[in-house]
Chains A and B, each alone.
Chain A
Amino acid sequence: MMSSKPLSTMGWIILVIRILFGGLFIYTSVWHSMHAKEFLQSIKDYQIISGPLVSWSGFLFIALEAAIGVTLVFGFFVRQMALVAAALLAAFTGVIVSAIVRKLDIACGCGLGDTHVGWFDVVRDAFLIGIALLIAWRDGKTKESQSEQVAELSAAK
């Protein structure tokens, strides 16, 4: 059985951030599920997609949010899912910017206070993208050090 090094202080901080970040995604996915109609209305209000695409994209969005949240909280596919989260947040930021540019006075639909779209949402999303990238980078580093540890153990044997 592979021996694992105790977590460093930085490791603990990243673990807490990862669980909080995943928890945030779980919370928003549950909020979107509970307020499904309002969420679909928000998607429509962005005037990017319409028709039956709205409901299916809403459902897929919730499913993706839940997948990101659950895997990050439980520690599976951390690096991949953190990158997916960053990509999703980047796409969402682009949509918000397009709404601001088009001067749409609409609800964000983010599930976080249900504010009207504005530059605050862009800054918040940029911050979250940073966290997602930090988690992905740190998980990559941890994996590398684990691989090195395994290699050292194999060489010692």
Chain B
Amino acid sequence: MKNIRAAAAVLSYLVIVCLAGYNLRGQLFGKSMSAALTNSISSAPAQAAPEPASTPGAQSDLKSQPETTPQLAAQAESSPKEKAGLPTTPSPAGKTKDTHSQQSSVPVAGNGAVDVGERLPDFLLIGLNGNTLNESALRGHKTLFIIVSPTCPHCQKDLKLLHQIENDYPSIEPVYASVAQRDQTIPLADMTGEGDHLYTGAMDLARSLGVSGVPFVMLIDEKGVIRLIKKGELDEPTFRDILGKFSHGQPVAQLPKIMPSDAALTVTNFFGEQA
């Protein structure tokens, strides 16, 4: 009788621990393991198949940059497989490919860097109204993803502006991820009227992406792939231009990387101080 009880106890314990381990596997073993798995899955087709045609957007993103950043250059030189794996707008033939196999070939941002053509690492944001948002929830629709800080005046201006114009782009889902706690973010929601789109808990994500200043604007397509990155405050014509093109599926040219002299004007660090 005691043996049966012991066996039942051990079995129950193992079930719970295995469940926890399964649900936490991504966090426990980090990106390195999933990336290794991804590479092992995607490397064979990437070597065998010719380089798929990149989207017009992705091509123009890369070509339109006046200066190739060292990071991008390093990526282009050191990881041609990853480059080959850039997500594509499916051609008629390409439509037969399942989205999972496409997704597995998309490089994941993180380790202090993010670039166009990558997708965000897994994250969990908590909405001001209690809902949660993770990376997979970005799939299936276009997203305007901005990392903000409540104490940053440029973020406040951007969010006020977007509150006025976002209804003109109903196909784009706005997500404003605050690096501050909930109680510090509520005033930003009150000030801008963006409570429904404001989320908290973005500090880890911001660190993972190497974001040093806010607002940090990203346009993310239906497959979760980043199509544009812009650091700093944007004016209304610029927002209308990129959101209009993005909502109609037109290529969005990567804006020039912000220069240090401009940065002083438009970028604020997490603590609300101008960079």
Contact = CB atoms under 8 A, between A and B. Distances in A.
Contact of B16 (A26, A38, A105, A106): A26
12 contacts: A26-B16, A30-B16, A32-B20, A33-B16, A33-B23, A52-B30, A67-B13, A70-B9, A71-B9, A74-B8, A74-B9, A105-B183
Contact of B5 (A29, A38, A75, A107): A75
Given A40-B24, A44-B204, A59-B21, A74 B5 contact: yes
B129 interface: no
Nearest to B132: A38
A34 B19 contact: yes
A76 B30 CA distance: 35
- The 6 A-B pairs of least Cβ separation, nearest first, read A55-B27, A36-B23, A74-B9, A66-B16, A33-B20, A105-B183
A121 interface: no
Nearest to A103: B183
A54 B204 CA distance: 12
A65 to B, nearest CB: 8
B20 A59 contact: yes
A29 B201 CA distance: 23
Residue among B13, B28, B182, B201 with most chain A CB within 10 A = B13
Interface in B43-99: none
A90 interface: no
Interface of A: 26, 29-30, 32-34, 36-38, 40-41, 44-45, 50, 52, 54-56, 58-59, 62-63, 66-67, 70-71, 73-76, 103-107
Contacts of A63: 16-17, 20
B190 to A, nearest CB: 15
A106 B182 contact: yes
B124 A66 contact: no
Contacts of A29: 16, 20
A56 to B, nearest CB: 7
A74 B6 contact: yes
A120 to B, nearest CB: 18
A41 B205 CA distance: 12
Nearest to A40: B27
Given A34-B19, A105-B182, A59 B24 contact: yes
A45 to B, nearest CB: 7
B108 to A, nearest CB: 17
Residue among B9, B124, B181 with most chain A CB within 10 A = B9
Contacts of A59: 20-21, 24, 28
B238 interface: no
B24 A38 contact: no
B51 to A, nearest CB: 35
A74 B9 CA distance: 6
A28 B6 CA distance: 21
B134 interface: yes
Interface in B1-27: 5-6, 8-9, 12-13, 16-17, 19-21, 23-24, 27
B134 to A, nearest CB: 7
Contacts of B181: 45, 104-106
A58 B132 contact: no
B255 interface: no
A29 B19 CA distance: 10
A36 B134 CA distance: 13
Interface string B162-182: 000000000000000000011
A41 B181 CA distance: 12
Contacts of B5: 74-76
Contacts of A55: 24, 27-28
Nearest to A50: B204
B27 A36 contact: yes
A26 B126 contact: no
Contact of A26 (B12, B20, B30, B204): B12
Interface string B96-134: 000000000000000000000000000010100000101
Given A67-B13, A74-B9, A106-B181, A41 B124 contact: yes
